Structure 1
């Protein structure tokens, strides 16, 4: 039984490392775009627009009222 709990206690560490690995591999190709001001502004604008779109879409789907 002790081996079972030892094995289960490893899952949170695996989840964190898996999530950080996905985040790192998703962000790594975008880092060169942040070196020039024009592409950095466009990239930040695209990220903000994406979050706004996602937020407004989820609010409409869940019926959480308007802004």
Structure 2
């Protein structure tokens, strides 16, 4: 049983290493384009727009947005 928990405790470290490798490879792939200023500005704009799109979509899907635009109650009878 001790070996089982030792093996399971290795998975978070593997996951963190895996994610770090993905981000590093993406950074190395994008790094040559960062020297060109218009490309850098476009890349930052795309990242900000994507983050905002994801944020607003999740807020709308989960219903955690408080807009104050609730419709008035409908009286059916």
* Divergent runs of 4+, >3 A: none
Cα RMSD after superposing both structures: 1.4
In terms of fraction of residues, the more helix-rich structure is 1
> What is the aligned partner in structure 2 of residue 6 from structure 1?
6
Deviations 1:1-38 (A, max 9, x none): 33222222211111111111122222321111111111
Which ranges in structure 2 are unaligned for 5 or more consecutive residues?
68-77
Which ranges in structure 1 are unaligned for 5 or more consecutive residues?
none
TM-score (norm 1): 0.82
Higher relative contact order (CA 8 A, sep 6+): 1
Larger Rg: 2
Q: How many residues align?
A: 66
TM-score (norm 2): 0.73
